[in-house]
Amino acid sequence: MTVTTAMTTHDQAREAQPPALDAAQLAEAFALFSRASEELSTAYNGLQLQVGQLTERLTMLMGALPAGVIVLDRAGRVVQNNRAAEALFGTELAGSDWARIAPALQATETPGEVTLARGGETLRLSVSETALESGEERILLLHDITDTYQMRLTAERNERLAAMGEMVAGLAHQLRTPLAAALLYTGNLRQAELGAAERAKIADRAIERLRYLERLIRDMLLFARGDSLGRQRFGACELAVELAHTLEPLARARRIAFASTCECADAIVHGDRKALAGALTNLLENAIQATEPGGSVSLQVAPADEGAARALCFVVRDSGRGVAPELQSRLFDPFFTTRADGTGLGLAIARGVARGHGGDITLRSAVGQGSTFILTLPLASDEAGGADPVAPT
């Protein structure tokens, strides 16, 4: 009984083993493997051909693009570029460290635009960056917009000149009235019977009218020129402190409370400091003029709160009489003024300065509830807490 059981177990183990392959089966298996290997080899060669064709097409496309294309790896080295990119920088870029090339691109007042000095000329470039999904490389596109930028400046200047042409009729009245008054006062000075006190009083009035003419002509020239004379980097808080020191005595003399706060975290502005200071001074002077004694005027500098993290706001508030809705749309028109001694060009110049820096001025006002002027300036990406589109990672 025991022997039978042992034999049965041995037989079961032998039956559990796979049957041995004969020569025909082995030959068939090798044939199948050979065919599969050949098919894989053919498919691989086909893929290599497609990759070669795509690479050739990509190379031709990059070479035909007028924009400069630069591919950077994770370490910030140039792994690929086209001829347009080398023409911009005037040197071979492949294998170079981008950190040594990027300083040649200087940020401008417009986010996404930089300048590049090349052979005695200054190019204006638009820069955009795209990261690959793998995260291993990123692509920089550099478009030469120098001609477009010059056309934009010319168009803006032509618009200002056209506006001045439309104002010729109003200009004659603006100049004739103070000039006639100055002539009248100076003519009275020829009267021999005038005493010293009267003569001095008439002379002061004549000088006042002549200064008004001087201010009017100066504002007209600023409005016609419109462009900034120079650009530099300066702190927004420093500008706010300077404005406070200038305007606080004027407000105090009119018994108006003046306050200045800066919440911009030491933001740096790139622009014409003198022009921007003049625009803000005009807004503050208007606010003081519109406020009765006992009222208040304030200047606040803070990041824009309208989802634009790359913008800075200079907010001028007053508790004055406000501006009627029907006048608000005309307030920035040249030669429109609600003040007897105003030239009507101050706000137009201020808005021109703001727009010349890529920003704007907006107004919120209600009669009897004061006014709020907001001068918004865009900040370069490296000054707004964001990543510099041309900085190495």
Q: Is residue 203 part of a domain?
A: no
What are the strands of the beta sheet with 113-118, ordered from one edge?
78-81, 68-73, 137-144, 121-131, 113-118, 105-107
Distance CA 374, CA 300 (A): 9
Q: Which of 144, 161, 180 is the last residue of a domain?
A: 144
Is residue 81 within 8 A of residue 68, CB to CB? The reply is yes
Do 258 and 323 sit in the same domain of this protein? yes
pLDDT given for residue 393 in this prediction: 44
pLDDT given for residue 174 in this prediction: 60
pLDDT given for residue 1 in this prediction: 44
Backbone phi, psi, residue 184, to 5°: -65, -45
Do 238 and 346 sit in the same domain of this protein? yes
What's the CATH number where 264 sits?
Answer: 3.30.565.10
Is residue 210 within 8 A of residue 182, CB to CB? The reply is yes
Q: Is residue 214 part of a domain?
A: no
What's the CATH number where 126 sits?
Answer: 3.30.450.20
Q: Is residue 137 part of a domain?
A: yes
pLDDT given for residue 296 in this prediction: 92
Do 317 and 392 sit in the same domain of this protein? yes
Do 368 and 254 sit in the same domain of this protein? yes
Q: Is residue 13 part of a domain?
A: no
Do 96 and 242 sit in the same domain of this protein? no
Do 311 and 391 sit in the same domain of this protein? yes
Which amino acid belongs to residue 343?
T
Q: Is residue 207 part of a domain?
A: no
pLDDT given for residue 233 in this prediction: 82
What three-state secondary structure class fits 110? coil
Cα of first residue to Cα of last residue in the chain, in angstroms, is: 83
pLDDT given for residue 380 in this prediction: 56
Evaluate the CA torsion angle 278, 283, 289, 292 in order and state its sign: negative
Q: Is residue 194 part of a domain?
A: no
pLDDT given for residue 267 in this prediction: 83
Do 265 and 371 sit in the same domain of this protein? yes
- The beta strand positions in 42-151, using DSSP E, are 68-73, 78-81, 105-107, 113-118, 121-131, 137-144
Q: Which of 29, 64, 99 is the last residue of a domain?
A: 64
Domain extent at residue 119: 65-144
Distance CA 32, CA 27 (A): 9
Q: Which of 144, 172, 205 is the last residue of a domain?
A: 144
Q: pTM for the full model?
A: 0.48
In sequence order, which residues have a C-beta less than 8 Å from that of residue 264 and are 6 or more positions away? 236, 237, 301, 302, 303, 312
pLDDT given for residue 255 in this prediction: 92
Q: Is residue 191 part of a domain?
A: no
Distance CA 210, CA 183 (A): 9
Do 82 and 32 sit in the same domain of this protein? no
Distances (CA, A) of 65 to 58, 82, 138, 267, 271: 10, 8, 18, 37, 32
In sequence order, which residues have a C-beta less than 8 Å from that of residue 260 and are 6 or more positions away? 240, 241, 243, 244, 248, 298, 299, 300
Residues in the chain, total = 393
Distances (CA, A) of 144 to 23, 100, 168: 73, 21, 38
pLDDT given for residue 209 in this prediction: 78
Do 355 and 289 sit in the same domain of this protein? yes
pLDDT in tens, the chain (393 residues): 444 544 555 555 555 555 555 777 777 777 788 888 888 888 777 777 777 666 666 666 666 667 888 889 988 899 888 888 888 888 888 888 888 888 888 888 777 888 988 877 889 999 888 888 777 888 888 888 988 888 888 887 787 677 666 555 555 656 666 777 778 888 888 887 878 888 888 888 888 878 777 767 766 666 555 544 466 788 888 888 888 888 888 888 889 999 998 888 778 888 778 778 888 988 998 899 889 999 999 999 988 865 444 788 999 999 988 888 878 777 777 666 766 556 567 788 788 788 877 788 988 988 888 899 999 988 755 444 344 445 544
Do 327 and 386 sit in the same domain of this protein? yes
**How many domains is the chain partitioned into structurally?**
3
For helices 146-166 and 168-188, the axis angle rounded to 10 degrees is 60
Distance CA 323, CA 315 (A): 17
Is residue 378 within 8 A of residue 111, CB to CB? The reply is yes
pLDDT given for residue 383 in this prediction: 44
Q: Is residue 312 part of a domain?
A: yes
pLDDT given for residue 131 in this prediction: 86
Do 267 and 286 sit in the same domain of this protein? yes
Across the strands, what pairs with 114?
107, 125
Distance CA 96, CA 102 (A): 11
Do 124 and 30 sit in the same domain of this protein? no
Evaluate the CA torsion angle 27, 33, 36, 42 in order and state its sign: negative
